[in-house]
Amino acid sequence: MSLDYQTIMNYQFPDIRRTYTKDDTILYALGLGLGSDPMDEDQLLFVYEKNLQALPTMPVILGFDTVPLNEVPELSSINFTMLVHGEEYLTAHNPLPAEGSTLCRTKILNILDKGADKGAIIYRQKEIVNEADDTLLATLIDNIFLRGNGGFGGEPGPVPVPPVHKLPKTEPDETWELPTLPQTAMIYRLSGDYNPLHIDPEFATEAKFDRPILHGLCTFGMAGQAVIKQFCGYDPTKLKALQVRFSAPFFPGETIRFEMWRGGSEISLRAKSVERDVMVLNNGRAEISG
C-alpha cells in the first residue's frame, strides 16, 4: 500500500485535552497489575485514593487520540491493520498530579522507508503539559512500525531519536516476575487505548496474530513499575526517563520476567514471556535519581 509521505508530514494534529480523575489514575495502575498483593502498602500508593500518587508512566495514556487515526482523511494511506508499536521513549520533566487536566501536543518527526518487504517506520513526538499552568510534564516519542507501507520511495534514515541502547553482557543485577491476568488487556484498554487488536480475536487474526495481544504500552508501564520497585523504593518521582523496544508480542495471562542491570543512575533492562521463553521487551534503558 502506497504511503502519502507529504500529506502525513504536513498534517497538523489537534491538541488533545484530557481531564482525568483519581479513579482514572487508579484504573491505570490496576491495568498494570498493581494491587495484586492487597497487603503491600507500597502498591497501595497507586490504587487507593488515600495519599494517591500517579505512576510516572501514566502520561502515555494522556495523549490517546480522541478521533481514531484511521478516521483521519490525511492519514488514510496508512495500513492500520498492519500497524504495530516498535519503540517508546518517555522523559518525565515534572511529577504528574493524581488528578487534573492535560494537553497533548503532537507532531510527526519523520517517516522512514525500510523497503517494500520490511515496511516503514513513523516517529511521533508528544508533549504532555499541565493545562492549569502549561508546565511540561512529559515528552513522549513513539516509533510505529507500518508493516504494510514500505516501498513508498522515502529515505531509510537517519533515525530522529536516541540510538538503540545496548545491554550489558553480564548476568542481571535484579530480576522480577509479574504474573498477568487473562483479562489484563481488557482492563488496560479502559484507560483509553481501544485498539481492537487487544480484544477482538477476528481482528487479531487479520493482523497475523494467533489471538489478541497485550498493549505494548501496558508492558511499558510494567517496565516502569519494575524499575521503581527494584531501585526507587516505589517513589514515582525518581524515574526520570524510560525507553524500550517492543521485540515480540506478549499475551495476556502470561508471566513477564524483567532482567535489570544498574550502572549508577542508569538502569538497563529487558523482559521476556516466561511461558514461551520469548523476549518481549529489549534494549531498555531507564534513568533514575537518588
Q: Give the per-residue pLDDT at 290.
A: 76
Based on the residue annotation, tell me whether 216 is a catalytic residue of this protein: yes
How many Cα atoms sit within 13 Å of 149 on the Cβ side? 25
Q: Give the per-residue pLDDT at 269.
A: 98
Q: How far apart are the C-alpha atoms of 79 and 147, rounded to whole Å? A: 8
Cα–Cα nearest to 236, from 36, 2, 52: 52
Q: Domain 5-288's class?
A: alpha beta
Catalytic residue among 33, 216, 221, 224: 216
What is the tens place of the pLDDT at every residue in 25-56?
A: 999 999 999 999 889 999 999 999 999 999 99
Q: Give the per-residue pLDDT at 208.
A: 86
8 Å CB contact between 106 and 144: no
How many Cα atoms sit within 13 Å of 146 on the Cβ side? 27
Give me the residue spans of the domains in the chain: 5-288
Catalytic residue among 24, 113, 142, 193: 193
Based on the residue annotation, tell me whether 193 is a catalytic residue of this protein: yes
DSSP codes, 154-213: ------SSPPPPPPPSSPPSEEEEEE--TTHHHHHGGGS---GGGT-HHHHHHTT-SS--
Give kind and range of the element (H or E) at residue 10.
helix 5-10
pTM of the model: 0.93
User: What nine digits make up the cell of 111?
Assistant: 517517516
What is the tens place of the pLDDT at every residue in 206-259?
A: 888 999 999 999 999 999 999 999 999 999 999 999 999 999 999 999 999 999
- Residue numbers in the chain where pLDDT is lower than 50: none
Q: Give the per-residue pLDDT at 82.
A: 84
Cα–Cα nearest to 244, from 255, 260, 230: 260
| Amino acid identity, position 255 | T
Based on the residue annotation, tell me whether 198 is a catalytic residue of this protein: yes
Cα distances (Å, whole numbers) of residue 248 to 32, 98, 217, 271: 18, 32, 13, 10
Residue 225 backbone phi and psi in degrees, to 5: -65, -40
Catalytic residue among 85, 128, 198, 284: 198
8 Å CB contact between 74 and 236: no
Q: Give the per-residue pLDDT at 1.
A: 60
Catalytic residue among 26, 187, 213, 228: 213
Q: Give the per-residue pLDDT at 66.
A: 72
Based on the residue annotation, tell me whether 213 is a catalytic residue of this protein: yes
